[in-house]
């Protein structure tokens, strides 16, 4: 009889450990594969214009709850989160495929709603829907989108290549999508208790929108192009700033220092965190799904962005040996913790 095989729980190694383990078993055979597993998108091609490919799946009950997520928004978000990964490579999205797992809970009209959102996103990001797949699912809704993008060879930006003394930048503001989700979850709980109660969402419009209808920062990618600025490294913020800083640091073999008082937090995000008895800074560092961009630039490029209203400079790239640190408002230096999203 064979020895009983050891069973390892996925939770023991986590999502990133699992991806590392998968990737360690494969080597690329094609010289056109320039970057495989391990960045926001794969990079391939041989000429001056490279192709980018990324895919992201959204599962009902894990990534969205249809009791507060309108199908149109869901369609839009499924595309936006994919486009965001192309933005993170400094590329332009061109084509998408959309694959659906559907149960008979959904009507033709419901799917039309979903595709209205997909269509809006295709307009906003100038991408073409070129295919997909449709299958039945026993209960929940599954949406998997793949996106193809393009980038000039000299403009592609990876998670690696951040250099010591580079400046760390983030777009927009952080923590809003996470607090929007808290508000939606609270209102859902209130509604379950007492269906007579109408949700009070208007007051939280901004953060609820951050959760339900995130945008990919293609506007910033176009602006960086106009400024002639190619970041040294970049990633989109899907799991939380701290987690993304760990990816940049690991891939670039550097350390980072950020300043708490420089983290961009919208007033409504701040106030709602306080209302929920949460620390606004923790929400900004570890709240997911903001889909902003985190990037590093050489000091010579600082002039180009220093007056940009929607780009905050939050710290600098350090030696690897100095690790990942945050200087707090009280001028204490603390080690950064990457909590991120843990689905397992
Ligand atoms: P992002 O948050 O930017 O979408 P992920 O953390 O999902 O990136 O993925 C990181 C890298 O791991 C990407 O290169 C992605 O293509 C790859 N990856 C994720 N899951 C798998 C898998 N099951 N098999 C192979 N590669 C994967
Ligand atoms: Mg990403």
Distance, CA of 100 to CA of 70 (rounded, Å): 16
| Minimum CA distance residue for ligand 1 atom 3 | 40
Q: Which CATH number fits domain 3-155: 3.40.50.200, 3.60.15.10, 3.30.430.20, 3.30.1330.10?
A: 3.30.1330.10
- Domain topology for 167-335: Phosphoribosyl-aminoimidazole Synthetase; Chain A, domain 2 (3.90.650)
- 37 Cα–ligand 1 center, Å: 6
- 234 Cα–ligand 2 center, Å: 9
Say which ligand is closest to the CA of 84: 2
- 201 Cα–ligand 2 center, Å: 29
Does 301 sit in the ligand 1 pocket, CB within 6 Å? Answer: no
Nearest to 290 by CA among 233, 240, 342: 240
| Minimum CA distance residue for ligand 1 atom 19 | 19
- 197 Cα–ligand 2 center, Å: 38
Q: Show the tokens assigned to 20.
A: 């590392």
C-alpha dist (Å) from residue 293 to 4, 83, 95, 123, 260: 46, 12, 21, 21, 18
Atom of ligand 1 nearest to the CA of 236: 3
Residue ranges covered by each domain of the chain: 3-155, 167-335
Does 144 sit in the ligand 1 pocket, CB within 6 Å? Answer: no
Helices (H), the chain: 10-24, 71-87, 108-125, 176-193, 205-212, 218-227, 241-252, 267-275, 280-286, 302-305
C-alpha dist (Å) from residue 309 to 80, 290, 334: 22, 18, 28
Atom of ligand 1 nearest to the CA of 239: 2
Per-residue pLDDT tens listing for the chain (344 residues): 555 788 999 999 988 899 999 999 999 999 999 999 999 999 999 999 999 999 999 999 999 999 889 999 999 999 999 999 999 999 999 999 999 999 998 999 999 999 999 999 999 999 999 999 999 998 899 999 999 999 999 999 999 999 999 999 999 999 999 999 999 999 888 877 777 776 678 889 999 999 999 999 999 999 999 999 999 999 999 999 999 999 999 999 999 999 999 999 999 999 999 999 999 999 999 999 999 999 999 999 999 999 999 999 999 999 999 999 999 999 999 999 866 544 44
Atom of ligand 1 nearest to the CA of 81: 4
Query: Same topology for domains 3-155 and 167-335, yes or no?
Result: no
Sheet strands side by side (includes 311-318): 233-237, 292-297, 167-171, 311-318, 255-259, 324-327, 333-335
């Amino acid at each position: 009889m064979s020895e009983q095989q050891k069973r390892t729980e996925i939770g023991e190694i986590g999502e990133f450990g699992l991806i590392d383990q998968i990737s360690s078993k494969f080597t690329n055979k094609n010289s056109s594969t320039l970057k495989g597993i391990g960045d926001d998108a794969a990079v391939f091609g041989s000429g001056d214009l490279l192709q980018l490919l990324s895919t992201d799946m959204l599962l009902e009950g894990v990534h969205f709850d249809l009791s507060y997520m309108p199908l149109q928004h869901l369609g839009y978000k499924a595309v936006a989160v994919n486009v965001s990964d192309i933005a993170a490579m400094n590329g332009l999205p061109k084509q998408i495929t959309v694959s659906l797992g559907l149960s008979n809970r959904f009507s033709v009209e419901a799917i039309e709603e979903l595709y209205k959102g997909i269509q809006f996103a295709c307009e906003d990001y100038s991408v073409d829907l070129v295919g997909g797949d449709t299958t039945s699912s026993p209960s929940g809704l599954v949406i998997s989108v793949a996106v193809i993008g393009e980038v000039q060879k000299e403009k592609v930006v990876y998670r690696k290549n951040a250099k010591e003394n580079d400046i760390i930048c983030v777009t927009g503001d952080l923590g809003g999508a996470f607090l929007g989700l808290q508000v939606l979850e609270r209102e859902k709980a209130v509604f379950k208790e007492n269906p007579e109660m109408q949700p009070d969402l208007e007051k939280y419009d901004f953060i609820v929108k951050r959760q339900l209808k995130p945008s990919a920062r293609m506007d910033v990618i176009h602006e960086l192009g106009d400024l002639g600025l190619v970041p040294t490294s970049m990633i989109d913020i899907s799991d939380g700033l701290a987690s993304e800083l760990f990816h940049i640091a690991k891939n670039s073999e550097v350390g980072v220092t950020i300043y708490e008082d420089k983290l961009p937090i919208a007033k409504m995000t701040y106030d709602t965190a306080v209302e929920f008895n949460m620390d606004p800074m923790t929400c900004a560092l570890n709240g997911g799904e903001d889909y902003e961009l985190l990037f590093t630039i050489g000091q010579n490029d600082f002039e180009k962005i220093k007056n940009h209203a929607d780009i905050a400079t939050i710290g600098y790239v350090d030696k690897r040996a100095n690790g990942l640190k945050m200087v707090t408002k009280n001028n204490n230096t603390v080690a950064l913790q990457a909590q991120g999203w843990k689905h397992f």
